[in-house]
Chain A
């Protein structure tokens, strides 16, 4: 039993680390990041990863070692110790320091992404409406004003320009939803009754690519298929698409003739 338990604990540690180490090549890892603030998030993730790995190996290793060593049949008494103040001090202060370090390091990133006062000054490019069970993106249309007769409504597809601060307002029609694009490292719940401004800026080398927009808050039976698409184009490509959409809004139906 002694050997078996030790083996199990050792396996846990080894496999635990190994599966994380090999995760990326299996496609079980963070998707690639494409926005300007994404690297800060990923750096924080990796910092925590290293710290966590160290403590994981240290504690599980100690556990396995102690279980092995001290379960040997021995009729003598155990070490009669009620604790050690110095040890307690160190293993309180060091983790506390590390935790506070992580805490303070990340404050800037969070403020950058989420604080209203740090929102870029660009005008919103669209209002994104989440509903049961799809996404509707509303652009202002040729007159540049939201809420008028020439608004462009794009179901499911959110087209944005790369290399610019894209600001948009997130709404919900009915229940809670959540706007999540993994590659952007952006997630925000869409709350009915609230209009939440958000922003991102896709690095130019990631233009001409389409990303999945996933709903990340349970919204009913259709939550799993509430997909959208964010298509990132160059500014020229975006303008071209917008012109097509604006023409489509003003369609007189003759192109539907077969």
Chain B
């Protein structure tokens, strides 16, 4: 991937096709070979242009973050309703029961439950984790950590956020349409999702759901294009690829994942929209006999294959789970190194591991489909690739442990959450080995052990990493620190309650409890699991309520947190060179990079850290 060299000689003729402002920047001799520097006028922007329709990556990053946090609350509330039903089925649901279900005395209906877990998963994946990790932190951190004044395409960046908003509106509106929100699972397998009469949520809710995903996909694509271009083209002089912080590697790799995987999701979502709205037959086989709303028949074309959706959907959604975890890994690495005052153990293996996770991530999608009816020979091949993908994650875990060995650990809130990330990611990763083993998967597919696995990696992994990242980069975002005491209280409670909630799901799944069942005790053989479900539900309620500490801390610290300077954590990476918070254009001086990103405890200097931009003779 070599970039044609652009002469920095002031007398050289202006290269053709360049943005005049970039050309201006070049004439000023800024930027390393192959990089582009953009300068523009500083004029006063209106409130709307500054904070709402902003092209500044920091504002956009914060927009993603606030939206993500609000949606986290909504997704969590949906989970609370799920947990209530599983612990005490068909009893009066607090708060919403009487409002929505007066006829049954407040007990929810079975179709409502199917909508709950569908929207919980959808919101958490597409409107919380992916926007927080790639949208919020990707946007905020990439230019800052590579020494750029903004993203390569600031207006595209703005479109990236605002393209997500209609998607969000579609998702929220779907709760209020006839039949309610989508109810075919976040995986939306046809024909349940394509035949309107197969589920109440498949009336209008499912179409809105597909639109939400499509908009969200457009948003992510815009971001991915931006991130990849920015990382390749706008690094500060001296910042080679092998001197990038692992956060940037991670975000760059995630951007590539999105670039290659999202088009498939968009295509298949459009196919499903067509199946639903234009009654094409991509996924509809012949001779279905489905409970049908309109007796004349919304006659569907037929001859399609339900499995086609599954293949194409998982072709995106498996890389999607890596999109959800790789940035978390990258950020956790940075936070661990910074607060342990020690270089990352094995930088190159860490970078290569992330690359192999991403690469292998494209050839493992079939492990979601072992029981699906696809050719069993494919089960064999996907099994091998899935087994192999455990390896780079394991290497990363060992390297994190290596980072902590011999370190000088500062137990700040950020560090605590990063350590929890490692601890809980280990659990999530290890349980994955059972799922990779196809014969064992025959038993455990679609049981609660799968639920335990992905909640450990997404909640125990990504969510804790998000909290760590918020505590860690909050000073850069707002010029103040979050309260450490509240942070520690939040950490301890969240750690305890998260484990109480999700750990026992392993056992409950091994006992055979299926996912997505509104009433597990409809089968007598699962009746003895009710106390355990009750325990999990109570832990979940405590976990949800405990987040008050975080929310309170976050919002009050924005206004009343202790003010700090540029580098409260004494970090080495480039973002700490900028003011806190950085102004438009980020940096107030020229940057040149001389070292790798983790020169902590360097023997070259007296302090225990050596910033990337500090030259040592």
Contact = CB atoms under 8 A, between A and B. Distances in A.
Contacts of A2: 411
A116 B373 CA distance: 11
Contacts of B522: 224-225, 227
Given A48-B433, A79-B342, A176-B191, A188 B373 contact: yes
A66 B397 contact: no
B213 interface: no
B519 A218 contact: no
B305 A218 contact: no
Interface in A101-122: 102-103, 106-107, 109-111, 113-116
Interface stretch (B53-61, B243-251, B283-291, B558-566): B283-291
A5 interface: yes
A224 B438 CA distance: 25
Contact of A185 (B200, B388, B442): B442
B588 to A, nearest CB: 30
Contact of A77 (B376, B496, B529, B608): B608
B347 A182 contact: no
Given A8-B496, A189-B371, A224-B517, A19 B387 contact: no
A59 interface: yes
Nearest to A56: B430
Given A52-B430, A217-B446, A12 B511 contact: no
Contacts of A212: 523, 525
A217 B515 CA distance: 9
Given A187-B442, A218-B114, A83 B347 contact: yes
Interface in B502-550: 503-504, 506-508, 510-512, 514-520, 522-523, 525, 528-529, 532
Contacts of A56: 426-427, 430
B355 to A, nearest CB: 14
A29 B528 CA distance: 12
A51 interface: yes
B552 interface: no
Interface stretch (A90-98, A142-150, A156-164, A241-249): A90-98
A169 interface: no
Nearest to B422: A63
Nearest to A28: B507
Interface residues of B, number: 116
Contacts of A217: 189, 371, 446
A193 B376 contact: no
Contacts of A115: 376-377
Interface stretch (B170-178, B272-280, B398-406): B398-406
A78 B341 contact: yes
B29 interface: no
Given A63-B423, A191-B307, A217-B189, 4 more contacts: A29-B507, A48-B433, A79-B407, A95-B390
22 contacts: A16-B503, A26-B507, A29-B507, A45-B440, A52-B430, A55-B430, A67-B409, A80-B601, A80-B602, A81-B406, A91-B395, A95-B390, A132-B290, A174-B198, A174-B290, A175-B190, A187-B443, A218-B114, A218-B192, A220-B199, A221-B199, A224-B517
